[in-house]
Amino acid sequence: MTSSSPLQFVQINGASLAYREAGDVDSQLFITLHGGRGFGSHESDFSAYLPLSTSYHLISFDFRGHGQSSHTPPYTFNQLVDDIESLRRHFVDKYHKREGRAIICGGSFGGYLAQQFAIAYPGGLSHLILRGTAPSYEHETEAIEVLQKRLDRAPLASVNMLRKVFGAFKGDDEMRLVMFAIGPLYSEAEYDADIGLEGSRTRRLSAKVHNDLYSEEEKYFDYRPKLKEITAKTLIVVGEKDWICPPSQSKIIHEGIIGSQLLVVPNANHSVHQEKNEEVIAAIRRFLA
């Protein structure tokens, strides 16, 4: 299969999840978990990790309430993690795989879910790959500090807007405007405002889903006390200039997961898997080998 792999849907725990797949279906599952609470989708991860489909069965999907998946509540960390496990079981059963354990690769918000999955379902994965993520909600304080130093990169953004990203939006329109304003912060590459505008115009997002996942019951996640329980072989990749999940957060994860590997990529930001794609893919291949 190629990057033109058709969009498909699977029924998981009462929700219709949109996904794409590539690679030999007899190979081990490589499941990607996208970032963006309430505004992320699978497409960029599928494109970035597609080279790995020569060796693995790549599955990239939209969480419930995200992208083209159905808006089927509840929108909680536990529900999304249970969906990941059910999705894994679905493809293992569908293709009668000998190796039922998956490689789980999560970035940003998807990295939070990947850590929780590794803790909740240790038998469900052989390898854990974390990209530009954090082990607890406390990364938000550091992100705001970094933002204050880089506001010149995003002249339409403000600290108050970022507090909304870490809290609640008044509606979809406000959310779309804020995400457009902070867009230049995500990459070290030269920002193309026209591409950013088109992306913001067409992005599928939901303030309700975002706000539910930042509710009082959900926002204060903290995996630090349980990182030592993660037994899967773990690779942590982070851009040296990641602003929303700074490298210090990846170092905390590295120190907490016994035997983990840490790769800090120079001159890369939050979208390190896209900015430095060849380097990241090569590092993942070495790690999995």
Q: Say what the pTM is.
A: 0.96
In-domain check, residue 1: no
Average pLDDT per run of 10 along the chain, which is 289 residues long? 76 98 98 97 98 98 98 98 98 96 98 98 98 97 93 93 96 97 91 93 96 97 98 98 96 98 97 97 98
Point out the domain boundary residue: 191, 213, 235. Answer: 213
203/264 same-domain check? no
Alpha-carbon gap, residue 231 to 150, rounded angstroms: 37
Please give the pLDDT value at position 4.
59
Q: Which of 213, 239, 264 is the last residue of a domain?
A: 213
| Same domain assignment for residues 56 and 185 | no
Does 161 lie in the same domain as 53? no
Residue 94 confidence (pLDDT): 97
Domain-embedded: residue 2: no
CA–CA dist 101, 93 (Å, integer): 12
Rounded CA separation 88/125 (Å): 9
- Domain check: are 284 and 173 in the same one? no
Amino acid making up residue 133: T
The answer to whether residue 34 sits within a structural domain is: yes
145: domain range?
139-213
Boundary residue ending a domain (213, 230, 265): 213
Provide the CATH number for the domain around residue 69. Answer: 3.40.50.1820
Taking the C-alpha atoms of residue 154 and residue 157, their distance in angstroms, rounded to an integer, is 5
Q: Are residues 102 and 208 in the same domain?
A: no
Would you state the pLDDT for residue 2?
Answer: 39
User: Is residue 264 in a domain?
Assistant: yes
- Measured CA to CA, the distance from residue 270 to residue 14 in angstroms comes to 32
* Total tally of structural domains belonging to the chain: 2
